[in-house]
Structure 1
Amino acid sequence: MELIWFTQKNILRVYPKGTRITSTNFKPLRAWMHGVQMVAFNMQVRVYMGDGWRKDFSQAHFDKYSPPDFYTKLYMVGVPADVRKVRTREIIDDWIPIWNQEFSFPLTVPELALLKIVVREHDAGKDDFAGQTCFPVSELKPGIRVVRLRDKKGKKFKSVKLLMRFTLE
């Protein structure tokens, strides 16, 4: 009752505990039922697979004698509490990498958060750029999506894309 009385005259924000390491989602409904006005949430990103590099790049663009070794980096950019970077595992010698990995980003201020996605190809020296994109989290729609990637200048590749699933809770 004290919480309900407090939220009638004050703005209250709640968010998932910063030490949460599981991918379970924070349940905002309980806080809303008690009058909390701002409830942060977890954004989960599953990177299923990528495709199209074989069409947009030459066979020897990444590696002269073998198929590429792709991995994806996901960056959450926003207020300092929301900043995070994760990386998929490397898929060795495959033009169509299948990662099937899920990541969770607890967000305190989702309206200021951006999700940056960069695909790279691992090399013995410097890793090669293989595509990028960036989205405001507020514009992401839940569900399975085809995410078109862009080159270093921001131009969309004709064929390069990722298959991803977004869950916002």
Structure 2
Amino acid sequence: MKIKPELELTQEEHQAIMTLRNAAFPDHQSAHSYYKQLPHYRALKFQGNKLIGYMGLDYRVMNLNGEPIKVLGIIDLCVDTDFQGKGVASAMLTIVTEYAKDKDVDFIALMADDPSLYLKNGFQGLEVGASWLRIHEHKNYGIAEERLNDFYVKPLRDQTMIKSGLDWLGYMY
């Protein structure tokens, strides 16, 4: 698996990401290789020349109970249907975790409708009151405030994320 900065992606990689992402998320189609916002990095898993696994990585500071935390967010993890159930996604999560461990990252975080993969890979479900910037089709719709029950984190330091206030300081993945 390669972790590439957004600015280094080729047009072919953008096209492959868009195709795989749209196949994986039919209710959230996009004419781009991203849904809401460009991530900072892309994790790409190839089998030969075919993209079989993808996730966006967003590195940012969030505000947890008035304190800044550094978060590496996972966005749109998806695997080609021919390769699902073969450990590709778990291997990608392991590589990203190892990558982040020696970086300045407090938590890896993501949103998930089906948490089974993430719980098997060391993530913890967290119900948290949150605020974030609503974005859709390159337009912001102001700040949303809701209680989230589909938020998952993997602590990488001695911090714990408690059920409390989380300000995303930007858009939600």
* TM-score, shorter chain, exceeding 0.5: no
Higher relative contact order (CA 8 A, sep 6+): 1
Task: State the TM-score, normalized to the length of structure 1.
Answer: 0.30
- Which has a greater percent of helix? 2
